[in-house]
Amino acid sequence: MPLPQSFVEATERRIRVRLADEVVADTLRALLLVQYGPGALPTDYIPASDVRPGVLVDEARATDGRRQWSVVCKSARADGAAWTHENPTGDFASLE
């Protein structure tokens, strides 16, 4: 049985991301990415301009065109917690 097609849609919710009791991202412009399949969970995509400066560190490039970062705040660290697509296409084209 084929899986439903992935999609991206705007959300009207305010999204705040906290790490170590500090807000590291705050947006009213989030997009909801919904993918289907093993390990695929709905994901809020937050514009980089709505992420607090200096919290994204240790950039790495994945083979699938994604850029990935760890998020740090105070003494807390979330490895691989933030990502973006360099040149999104198809279902992901709106994730710029």
- Which amino acid type is present at position 36? Y
- What is the rounded CA–CA span in Å between residue 36 and residue 30? 20
- pTM here? 0.82
Strand partners, 72: 77
pLDDT tens for each residue of 24-82 = 999 999 999 998 888 888 999 999 999 999 999 998 987 777 889 999 999 999 999 99
Res. 20: pLDDT tops 80? yes
* Confidence grade of residue 96 (pLDDT, cut at 50, 70, 90): low
Res. 86: pLDDT tops 80? no
What's the 3-state SS for 8-45?
Answer: EEECCCCEEEEECCEEEEEECCCEEEECCCCCCCCEEE
